[in-house]
Amino acid sequence: MKNKKYGILFDLDGTLWDSSEAVIASWNEVIDQQPDFHKKGTIEDMMSLMGKTMTEIAYEFFDTVSKERAIELMELCTDHENEYLRSHGGVLMPGLIETLEELSKKYFLAIVSNCQQGYIEAFLAYYGLEKYFDDHEDFGTTQKPKSDNIALVMERNNLEKTLYVGDIQGDCDSAVKAGATFVHASYGYGKVPAAQYRIGSFPELMDVADSYFGAAADPKEQ
């Protein structure tokens, strides 16, 4: 039985999948059509921008145009990115689907990301993963920082105990601020030296979750 009061919330990029190559390809298709911005995106650019809000990314990447134009270019790129990912996908972390299937039988699962509207949906749709997740939230919808969105998902689903799984220090800071316990996905993009829990591969999350939630071997339906 599934305990709906025990929640595992996930970052997306670097935690559940790696979409960097597909994102770069989609952005560069848009950039090729612009008369006032010509800098092509690279893997290094994507790595440096991971975890930031869409507004921060716009100002940092599209740095040779006005802020208003940067936001406009960002919207063009992310709209095309969502369409591109729905048809091309990204690279799932090894063991992800099998582990999600088992976790979803026991715990409430959700995704909280700093991405644009439609990005999480593209991830879920390409791989048919909607059935494993109970909720999701993103910066594009709320225009709020990740800590607020983690807290929002926890509150609206009445979660009593929550793990947040992410791969960079910003994820850890957001989780702690929201009142969740952080799990560092050390296979991802960043280092989090002081993380309380750490997994070197996605399937290791099963043991961490069962240990953290205690009597999770036979959780009771709430």
Give the integer Cα–Cα distance in Å for 10 and 38: 34
**Number of domains the chain contains:** 2
pLDDT for position 219: 40
Residues 82 and 118 in one domain: no
pLDDT for position 109: 98
Residues 76 and 100 in one domain: no
Residues 123 and 13 in one domain: yes
Within-domain flag for 222: no
What is the model's pTM?
A: 0.89
Token representation of residue 11:
């970052």
Give the integer Cα–Cα distance in Å for 109 and 3: 11
Judge whether 40 and 77 are in contact, CB under 8 Å.
no
pLDDT for position 125: 96
**Residue 188 domain boundaries:** 3-18+91-213
Residues 193 and 107 in one domain: yes
pLDDT for position 186: 98
Residue ranges of the chain whose pLDDT lies below 50: 216-222
DSSP result, 72-102: HHHHHHHHHHHHHHHHH--EEPTTHHHHHHH
pLDDT for position 34: 97
Residues 99 and 201 in one domain: yes
Judge whether 39 and 24 are in contact, CB under 8 Å.
no
Q: What is the CATH number of the domain that holds 186?
A: 3.40.50.1000
Q: pLDDT digits over 23-56, tens only?
A: 999 999 999 999 999 999 998 888 888 778 889 9
pLDDT for position 43: 87
pLDDT for position 16: 98
Give the integer Cα–Cα distance in Å for 144 and 152: 10
